[in-house]
Chain A
Amino acid sequence: MYIQKSPEVHDVIVIGSGAAGGMAAWNLTRQGVNVTLLDAGTRFRKEDFWSHVKPWQWRERVEKGMAPPKIRLDEKEQPYSWKEPNYFELIRVWGRGGKTNIWGRVSLRYSDVDFEGPAKDGWEIPWPIRYKDIAPYYDKVEQQIGVCGGDDDQDSLPGSKFHLPPPALRCGEKFLQSAAKRQGISVVNVRRAVLTKPHNGQNPCHYCGACGRGCDVAAFFNSTDYLLDPAEKTGRLKIIDNAVVARILLGDNGLATGVQYFDRYTKQERVIKGKRIVLGASCIDSTRILLNSKSAKYPTGIGNTSGVIGNYLCEQVRFHMYGFVPELLGTKTLNDDGIGGEHIYMPRFNHRDGKKRDYLRGYGSQFWGTGSQPGAAFAKQMDGFGLSFKGAVKKRYPALVAMHPYGETLPRKENRISVEGTPVDRYGVPTMRIEYNIGDNEKKMIAEMYDMAEGVLRAAKAEILPFERGWLDNFGSAIHEHGTCRMGDDPKRSALNGFNQMHDVKNLFVVDGSAFSTASEKNPTLTILALAWRATDNLAQEIKRGNI
């Protein structure tokens, strides 16, 4: 087959347009560096989002054969597999902005409780950075994208100085906050990248609550509006659409020389050359690309002398528990949409309550789904039918409260992504296989998470909906994949240094969640943005110095 090769050698090739790739492109172009970005899709049109389509209108449209914009990648288009019986739910967005189009927006800084955890407990490698190294970048990111929240810092949740005003709490959230306090657990204002007032020229939230369908006024951070559009205005960013990257190419000098990709629809193979490559295609897809980039020097994937690439996949464990607060039973239904999702957050506390644990690391909790929702799925867990059932549902509807504890999983070598012996995709490139499981550490933590959630709901005197202790949501459902190309000081046990630069291949940087040394219990996007900013600051400086 004829392969289109571009003679141009690009200054920097960025792979991926989500939080990681978008930040890399924005930060480099504003510093005078020319960037060519490969995006696996195209731009999503905000006017196409079904953000303000009511549930019944949605049905009517679907029945007429209409469909909302296809934001999530269809698994049929890009298959992957998992090791039975452990299904791994993989949610990917191929298109401008990636998952930031529909992300949960929870923006929590890691603290030294997270960064120092592995060094203290000795499980796997330590982080090569501490909070002080990344704090200035958290400051910059929060000022750039806008994060609302309170001023209620804790040792496990620092850095509130640049927050926009927090959203008001819903009734149910007040009861949960109060109940948790009676249990000795602090519940703070949530920190989310939603604009509760105009910020940097972007529109504020209008509280329609449909963020998961895409925001039609860009009132929460998405990589397209907040990073890539400004980057394009510099005239130094070129974006190539529908470029599904297969491999990073290696030169005889041991440096990356370019990227092989396929046009998503024509399947035409293309190669572009670059002096430096920044990989930010999300943890799982970046890992697929690295592992498929085999050469004589790196037979198990580019830069994989350490053998860690693909291994140590971490994704948080979580479950859901629901109840009804007695004081809200039968009350008037309110518009509880707010900024979509919860307005409160329970930071990790298990490191400072004085109790001895038989497990490592910790957990926090989210509370989305509290208050009136566009549906009443909870009714499926209620007995009965008929008029009494209908009345019971109505009575409980305004009183719904929800808890969603998230727990850290330890990095383990056997939790891994591989491309050996897997079927090939439509471009002839090996697909991914994901092997994932949890161990005793997580099981012990989950038992405590159940005790905590039940304890808080009981303290609220809530009628708790039936639950099966120990039940977990699908692996992968948190959409917080980390660790498969981890950073560390020891090149024998890590693939990247503390600036996301490959130990082996000095002109290759990996800036998404795969670079994390551990997963924490927190949502990673804010940290991905901060690390990508820091990494590309370093890259820009090194380019200016002529070192890369």
Chain B
Amino acid sequence: MKDRRSVLKATAGLVAAVPFLEAQDHSQHGFLQIEKPPLKRARFFNQQEMTLLEQLVEQIIPRSDTPGAADANVHYFVDFQAHTNAKLGAQIKKDLAWVKKQGFGKGDAAKQVALLTEWSKANGTEPCRVFKQLKDLTIDGYYGTKEGLTQELGWNANTFLREFKGCTHPEHGA
């Protein structure tokens, strides 16, 4: 059986290596210069559909002082979900065709925001369903990426700790 010390020792190198790599990555860009992850390959949607998806996810969770959904390749996440779920894929393909017909892809940012606002508020309608499905997929996708989870939300867990300190705020003392 491995004892705790040997486990910690074995993983210490991994833990130490991560900040170094991150420092290298982040030294390349600042607030406006977001380094995109390596290009991915779409498996389900065609190029036009991928472009539309990229615009949609970026409007739902845009770039701020942290990467947006497009920076985090969330459109490829949606593509992979469609690739592995034929029913979902067919539905989204149909939905994207409808979104295209509404002029979303050719509209400027203001037009795109206006359309999404309209759909999001049309409770119980088909446009609202389309919006909600794309929004949910964007949320699942973005907040599971390194960009969304660590850079945006500050998550730094699933790691090795010697001690769990919990809440150390006296003002939360209950």
Q: Give the interface of A toward B (CB within 8 A).
A: 52, 54-56, 59, 63, 167-171, 173-175, 177-178, 181, 198, 201-210, 217-218, 327, 332-333, 335-339, 343, 372, 374-377, 379-380, 383-387, 389-391, 393-394, 397-398
Contact = CB atoms under 8 A, between A and B. Distances in A.
Contacts of B169: 171
A212 to B, nearest CB: 12
A491 to B, nearest CB: 46
Interface in B94-119: 113, 116
A204 B120 CA distance: 48
Contacts of B146: 54, 56
A374 B2 contact: no
B47 interface: no
Given A59-B144, A332-B154, A169 B136 contact: no
B29 interface: no
Given A54-B146, A380-B139, A394 B153 contact: yes
7 contacts: A217-B7, A327-B171, A339-B164, A375-B140, A376-B148, A383-B120, A389-B61
A397 B153 contact: yes
A386 B68 CA distance: 10
B144 A206 contact: no
Given A203-B2, A206-B8, A379-B143, 11 more contacts: A59-B80, A168-B166, A169-B166, A171-B172, A198-B4, A206-B160, A208-B159, A209-B158, A372-B153, A372-B155, A380-B136
Given A178-B174, A339-B164, A374 B135 contact: no
Interface residues of B, number: 48
The interface residues of chain A, by DSSP majority, are classed as loop
Interface centre among A201, A202, A207, A209 (most CB of B within 10 A): A207
Interface in B134-174: 135-136, 139-140, 143-146, 148-149, 152-167, 169, 171-174
Nearest to B160: A206
A52 B120 CA distance: 37
B124 to A, nearest CB: 15
A169 B1 contact: no
Interface of B: 1-4, 7-8, 11, 59-62, 64, 77, 80, 113, 116, 120, 135-136, 139-140, 143-146, 148-149, 152-167, 169, 171-174
Contacts of B162: 206
Nearest to A57: B146
Contacts of B136: 380
Contact of A385 (B116, B154, B171, B174): B116
A174 B167 contact: yes
Contact of B144 (A168, A375, A394): A375
* 3 nearest CB pairs, A to B: A168-B166, A333-B154, A178-B174
B157 to A, nearest CB: 4
A391 B140 CA distance: 16
A209 B165 contact: no
B156 A333 contact: yes
Interface centre among A207, A337, A385, A397 (most CB of B within 10 A): A385
B4 A170 contact: no
B1 A203 contact: yes
